[in-house]
Structure 1
């Protein structure tokens, strides 16, 4: 009989929200991580599965998204990860974020867990970074006015990261609740010198804007974003869970880009769910996935007059990439708590 090898202890690193805040990760670092993994996806260096949903019997209070992905280009032999994130819109009444998440990272060669991470920051930052990366490649470089609908957690990263990339003259913000949009504007004003204007309606925020970001928290579909608000040359990013996009918006859009076409077709939620389900958006009418544009396989903006729409649903590989960034920084700083796994 062969003697079995002595069992060595296995440890994983737990990183709480406060642990991550102390790491000092910058917006620029997150944008670079997201841009890198989107390009890797375009080169086929990822293993990606569309999200699945768990909808509890909770009276419609919210649901969970389960995201799974692997990025071969990270670390010595890649990193795999699974994130579970809740989407609970009434959480503001309890003083909680609407999106709370946990990310687990794994060694793909052995299956050994590497980390358990509070992924609330990861979710917010990677979403804003995806908006920014899309804008970097698809918006007009001379864009001056940003209109943003929605004031949830990801909204701050959307606005501040776009503000870091463009020489904006004005940021317009709105949301359903007056107190929410006013507080959002106050928070933004503490982080940017760009004038921030609060509007009473989505139409006022979007009308004539160069970059339009729709991140509303609707409970029922409503056509808040429609062709009359999208001027020539605009870049449009709708990604609310429940659609705020009119059925005819794509009739006036020159190019539709998605983060991943399989993801766009999956699930029961999403800004363009109706457009996919009815065939208004199909493999034939889709211009490209963003990774194809970053790798040069498909053109991005070719004309200043083009109206371009990016629909990104939040890819698991973004969570893996930003989570890996967080974990590597934490290892260098010896941050977090080591937990005995077995």
Structure 2
């Protein structure tokens, strides 16, 4: 058989190929396919101690999008950094289409799935956001949230004053809603319609008692059984929706710790996000309901975003052509 031609796409090649709204549309459709039965596997992580680090990967097949793939990244180790590699295959032929350096893709696709969760679970008239975190993930969560709701004000909290103030100035200049740094976590939660946690915190960043009826919470900064950004009280009183149900007993720390504390019973889950997007399960059912989207990361949003970027890159003539030999040549 002939070799297959694929694209190698560097991080800079794809960094400007899609807007937040376009990422959101692609990711929403990916979760719709998941809700209709598209296969996806939760992350698998191998942890090393010397030097400390982790090697992580996950997989998804999106038949309607015509793509499938897996995301693998190494984080920590001697370099104390992270590197992301994403191969994408044709879902019909199985042939490789592209290999991405996924560094620039990561915050965009993660912000997009946060927005899909907001669109599915937050009140239609939500205008106020409380944001925890001031890094690139927080930036893209906010950009994506602004694409699905008509935001008016954002209160951002980060434990380092200089970081939250710089974030507020930068994002306030970029977005329509007023963005203001606050000095206490409670100030980011009280009166918020949407609360987003995009941090590296190992313990809850706010008290669930502060949440007003009708608030939606997106928790996306942790995927470790012993780490959580939201407390058991928040999980217990919320309509709780994970990105992938198979994550629950593996790395959904907020869910696992709420269960171990006796705050929730087995099965305290409304549905997977894909089930709600596909219309197979209800999301929010009242304006006073508190909702939580636990976004620990899956290949669904990653492969959906990569499929979009591959098509854009191919039409734009971006990327370097590389060849893959079929296994039949070697067997």
Relative to the length of structure 2, the TM-score reads: 0.88
**Residue 155 of structure 2 corresponds to residue 175 of structure 1:** no
1:194-216 alpha-carbon deviations (Å, 9 max, x no partner): 11101123222122211001111
Give the corresponding residue for 1:12: 6
| Residues matched between the structures, number | 321
Unaligned runs of 5+ in 2: 326-331
Which among 62, 68, 71 is matched to residue 62 of structure 2? Answer: 71
Tell me the SS of whatever aligns to 1:248.
helix
CA contact (8 A) 2:7 2:99 kept: yes
Give the corresponding residue for 1:227: 208
1:279-306 alpha-carbon deviations (Å, 9 max, x no partner): 6455532111122212222212121111
Map 1:1-342; keep pairs closer than 5 Å.
7-23=1-17, 25-44=18-37, 46-58=38-50, 60=52, 62-75=53-66, 79-88=67-76, 100-218=83-201, 221-241=202-222, 242-253=227-238, 255-267=239-251, 270-276=253-259, 280-281=263-264, 284-342=267-325
CA separation of 1:283 and 1:74: change in aligned 2, threshold 3 A:
farther
1:119-138 alpha-carbon deviations (Å, 9 max, x no partner): 12322112111111111121
State the alpha-carbon separation in 1 of the partners of residues 139 and 82 from structure 2: 14
Unaligned runs of 5+ in 1: 1-6
CA contact (8 A) 1:89 1:217 kept: no
Runs of 4+ aligned residues of structure 1 deviating over 6 Å after TM superposition are none
Tell me the SS of whatever aligns to 1:265.
coil
CA contact (8 A) 1:238 1:311 kept: yes
1:83-120 alpha-carbon deviations (Å, 9 max, x no partner): 113455999xx9xxx65422111234554322111212
1:170-213 alpha-carbon deviations (Å, 9 max, x no partner): 11112232232223223212321211101123222122211001
Tell me the SS of whatever aligns to 1:187.
helix
CA contact (8 A) 1:80 1:107 kept: yes
State the alpha-carbon separation in 1 of the partners of residues 78 and 175 from structure 2: 29
1:57-91 alpha-carbon deviations (Å, 9 max, x no partner): 2565x53321111111113xxx2211113455999
Relative to the length of structure 1, the TM-score reads: 0.86
CA contact (8 A) 1:240 1:270 kept: no
CA contact (8 A) 2:72 2:86 kept: yes
CA contact (8 A) 2:192 2:212 kept: yes
1:240-269 alpha-carbon deviations (Å, 9 max, x no partner): 22312223223332x1111121122224x6
